[in-house]
Amino acid sequence: MTPRIYRYVVRCDSGSAPRPYGNVCSLSICKPRVRKAASVGDWIIGVRSRAPDKVVYVMQVAESLPLGKYWQDARFRDRQPDASPVPDNIYRPDGTGNLIQVPNVVHDAGNQTRDISGRNALIGSRFWYFGASSPPLPTELIHLVHDGVGHAVHKRRRPDDVKRLEQWLATWPCGVHGRPINATPGVLAWLAEMETGERFPPTNGQVGRCHKASDLSPIATTVPFPKRRC
């Protein structure tokens, strides 16, 4: 089956939706309809709200995990609230088949029903995150622009879109190429620490296990995200 290309406007790009850190990109909060419908092999394009021809990120879905399994998967513990100032792994199973929102700086109780309705966390190892450095779509892909509410998937699709998208993305290596558009000073400080290697060393012999949030520098933990509708 031909991969689908989901396109939507990223209303608030703070580092958690999408979350492009830790060698994979994840979308586990916001955009419930996309998370519920997208399958392995599909593509997701997030564009800027005031410049919908500019790309915030692109990822190809490699895994679609139910939110409960996402919480339990050891690979994604660094995305939980006690391990990162940019968490997206914020719903844990309560043992009765339901999910409980873990206290976090990203979403409050008002977001829970909408988040959980998406059911899944989408994971991509092939991703290009541009954030504030977002490049414009090339002329041959400009028809994919989506500037309305919700998302688009079949609208204005052409048979060679995936091929042209991959050719365009080949300009950059996979990974992070910019800072979040709406990053707080605390998040920017955390990213700087990550880049210099001064923070988040493995602990207790567990490679990739980050320090708890309480171990971070004050600026990285005391400045909350703006809690916007995403």
Q: Over the stretch 135-175, which tens digit does the pLDDT of each residue have?
A: 999 999 999 999 888 899 988 889 999 999 999 999 999 99
Residue 70's φ and ψ, nearest 5 degrees, are -60, -45
Give the residue ranges of DSSP H helices in 21-142.
Answer: 32-37, 67-72, 109-117
- Segment (H or E) for 26: strand 25-27
Strands 5-10 and 43-48: parallel
Instruction: Name residue 44's amino acid.
Output: I
Q: Which long-range contacts (CB under 8 A, 24 or more apart) does 206-211 make?
A: 208/22, 208/78, 209/77, 209/78, 209/83, 210/78, 210/83, 210/84, 211/83
Percentage of residues of the chain with pLDDT beyond 90: 78
pLDDT (tens digit per residue) in 40-97? 999 999 999 989 999 999 999 999 999 999 999 999 999 999 999 999 999 999 999 9
Check pLDDT > 50 for residue 200.
no
Whole-number pLDDT of residue 148: 81
Residue 164 to residue 112: CA distance in whole angstroms = 37
Domain ranges of the chain: 5-222
Among 7, 6, 8, 9, CA closest to 50? 9
- Whether the CA torsion 12, 13, 16, 18 is positive or negative: it is positive
- Segment (H or E) for 192: helix 185-196
| Distance, CA of 145 to chain centre | 19
